[in-house]
Structure 1
């Protein structure tokens, strides 16, 4: 009733290869006033000629760089079939916005270009314009076409019988359709700053509804489960004391791996009856090293059976790490393993110091870490899962390509192999005694779902 009209533009995929694009801003004009700075992100729009008029279709949006008028955005890998339909001279619109939480983003400037022009402008700058005025510059740090003919190659092609161009770079879908399994490891923060879970309003409070840790698990893990045949999930905790010793990576549950998200949620609620002492500091290194070892072991076991495997470590934490440099060093040490690390910040803490995770990529290394603040997506499980999993496809492809591991042939599934199981309810009830939990620190107040 009064729902409006949805228009869909369906077109055949044309063009091979990708554009690897890395850009940064230089002295962008501030739209936030005197006391604050803008939070820039950019969009790429492809020109479409339809119904006798030109329109612009959004094909890519960068991450937001907070409070920075000279932002450096992460390198993006863009399929040419999506970006320009294989036409390297097709107009592309680049728009830079100041991010606003309510969604009414403010235009900071724009310019029009093409793939070929971006490639030619590598290491150079392009003026950002708004209403005829210069609002800063965009530096093209990297613009490289891979797996497609450049203009020069097209001009020097002798005949149709010449050697075929390099094949396009494989996509995430190619690996998944070839049977690559996604494994997930979950790690939860039990430091004292979470507060006493017996007290309503604290982050680990066990009540009639789901707390923020449970919401994050329930939103994200089931998506990854779909690509894991055995659905066995290692579940770790960190930041708590057992027998007077702080443990930065301890097993949660009765076994090393738990059978699906339901078992993970049950084990989470059961951990508070194990006489743990919620302590500190906040240390990620041991859970990251443990997950990296599991990821490498699983890939080697899969390859022995002519299969493929990739692992995602989901860390849920209420605060910033205690030692940034040690965390950076650990990320560098596990960079060569088939692993992505996603940290979801739960609660109302100041997570600004965690932005280093999105900028921790060293020259020549993969970007394997991402930080997502839970409160920015707490009103929508779909938004939370989308934001959390956004970078994983590119990270998976970059790992396999760096190690020259190509997708396997697409798997086929016979009708009789498809099993649809009824959806179970998840019982999250828990009864524990007042003397079974000791908390050594204060906590934060969680937002309601």
Structure 2
């Protein structure tokens, strides 16, 4: 955009009715005291004229000068040399085009949650009342379930000693079927959780990098299809402090290049500062080597803030960033949504 041979460094565009826009032109100053030059009104159809390589121009008018100066004509001529139209696709465009959302659930079974036989435990086994993990799993899971393509949830646990040899594991199938860790709907995850809990020995440490890497492996395989029609979301339920923070940061940085997002739900009243740091809302998350995330893929939700809130409030918080994260990924790869059609259900979750 050229103004009397001078190139203004800032312009704002505002809608002014169904067919026209008001464009304000400013001279940008580093001290923040930008100088208002003037404005002009244009239609989208007029601006499109520059697509063919011909110049389009408008007089730039400053209302104050128009009143004060008798012979004032304009503050210059705005010349549009080139116009490029970029269509911004929405989350719904990709879903309608066949993008399939695949949710994976991961549950923290570390000893910091407390002995399940103790009523103070977040994993307390009560015959009639759901514990804190079950409350969060059902509340959040039912929200996510509506977005999942096949309603089958691979469910994993981490931080426990598991049968038969009771070795520590950070990515075991909650149903103990490593070949097929999928559960039918959130109710299936609930039943698998309730069945496995008495058989486990809660242990530690709280390492979440392995489960992130496990889901990232499937997301990486999907990326190699070039169409990346499946988008993976890892839902982690944990009680707090992460012990493999360096590896977790590295895993998140690598996962930010893949069709993948992570939702972390904090259970209980622990210090969740680590989780908030991973969320990246207060700054760009980096690996220890200094590599930044390609895009923000982590959303942290402290469940204690929503125990008495409406399902709508919880849903808004849990899924607040997911649509934009999905769109950001596809935009970064230059992948456009397909024309709406019937697409087959997803393939099984890979090991």
2:169: which partner in 1? 247
- 2:107 alignment partner, SS class: strand
Whole-angstrom CA distance in 2 between matches of 1:85 and 1:322: 55
Q: Which of 259, 266, 282 matches 2:191?
A: 266
1:337 Cα deviation (Å)?
Answer: 1.2
Choose the corresponding residue for 1:378, options 307, 313, 322.
307
Residue correspondences, number: 281
Instruction: State whether structure 2 residue 136 is matched by structure 1 residue 198.
Output: no
- Partners of 2:143 and 2:46 in 1: CA distance: 36
Cross-structure match for 2:208: 284
State the SS of the aligned residue for 1:311: strand
| Structure 2 counterpart of 1:223, from 121, 139, 143 | 143
- With 282-291 and 371-380 compared, the bigger mean Cα shift is at 371-380
1:240–1:125: structure 2 CA closer, same or farther, 3 Å change rule? farther
State the partner residue of 1:142: none
Q: Tell me, in whole angstroms, the C-alpha distance in 2 between the residues paired with 1:122 and 1:171.
A: 35
Q: How does 1:82-93 map to 2 (within 5 A)?
A: none
Higher CA-based Rg = 2
3-state SS, counterpart of residue 119 of structure 2: coil
* Aligned 1:15-30 pairs, distance under 5 A: none
- Within 1, Cα distance between the matches of 2:239 and 2:181? 24
Summarize the Cα distance change of 1:181–1:297 in structure 2 as closer, same or farther, 3 Å threshold: same
Q: Distance in 1 between matches of 2:28 and 2:150?
A: 48
Distance of aligned partners of 1:177 and 1:337 in 2 relative to their CA distance in 1, 3 Å threshold: same
Query: Structure 1: where are the runs of 5+ without partners?
Result: 1-79, 91-113, 128-147, 414-449
- How far does residue 123 in structure 1 lie from its aligned partner after superposition? 7.4
TM-score of the superposed pair, with normalisation by structure 1: 0.55
Q: Comparing both structures, which one devotes a greater share of its residues to helix?
A: 2
* 1:347 to 2:268 alignment: yes
Residues 388-429 of structure 1: CA deviation (Å, up to 9, x unaligned): 11111111111111111101113479xxxxxxxxxxxxxxxx
Matched, 1:393 2:323: yes
Is the contact between residue 241 and residue 247 of structure 1 (CA under 8 Å) also seen in structure 2?
A: yes
Given that 1:219 and 1:382 are in contact with CA atoms closer than 8 Å, whether structure 2 keeps it comes out as no
Give the equivalent residue in structure 1 for 2:181. Answer: 256
Equivalent position SS for 2:257: coil
| 2:329 maps to 1:329 | no
Residue of 165, 172, 176 corresponding to 2:91 = 172
Measure, in 1, the Cα distance between the counterparts of 2:29 and 2:219: 36
Residue 135 of structure 2 aligns to a residue whose secondary structure is helix
Trace 1:309-328 onto structure 2 (pairs within 5 A).
309-328=230-249
In the alignment, the residues of structure 1 paired with residue 82 and residue 250 of structure 2 have an alpha-carbon distance, to the nearest angstrom, of 44
Gaps of 5+ in 2: 1-12, 35-44, 59-80, 344-351
The alignment yields a C-alpha RMSD, in angstroms, of 3.7
1:363-392 C-alpha deviation (Å, 9 max, x unpaired): 571111121111111212332222111111
Correspondence list, 1:112-261, <5 A? 125=32, 156-157=55-56, 165-207=84-126, 208-242=128-162, 243-253=165-175, 254=177, 255-261=180-186
| CA distance in 1 between partners of 2:327 and 2:241 (Å) | 29
Single out whichever of 172-181 and 186-195 deviates more from structure 2.
172-181
2:56 is paired with a residue whose SS is: coil
Q: What is the match of residue 406 of structure 1? A: 336
Q: Structure 1's 301 and 211: CA in aligned 2 closer, same or farther, altered over 3 A?
A: farther
- 2:212 and 2:329 map into 1 onto residues whose CA distance is 17
- SS of residue matched to 2:157: strand
Q: How far is 1:122 from its partner?
A: 9.8
Aligned 8 A contact 1:149 1:165 in 2: no
For 1:386 and 1:367, locate their aligned partners in 2 and report how far apart those are by CA, in whole Å.
17
Q: Distance in 2 between matches of 1:401 and 1:173?
A: 14
In 1, distance between residues paired with 2:331 and 2:318?
22
**Conserved? CA contact 2:170–2:207, under 8 Å:** yes
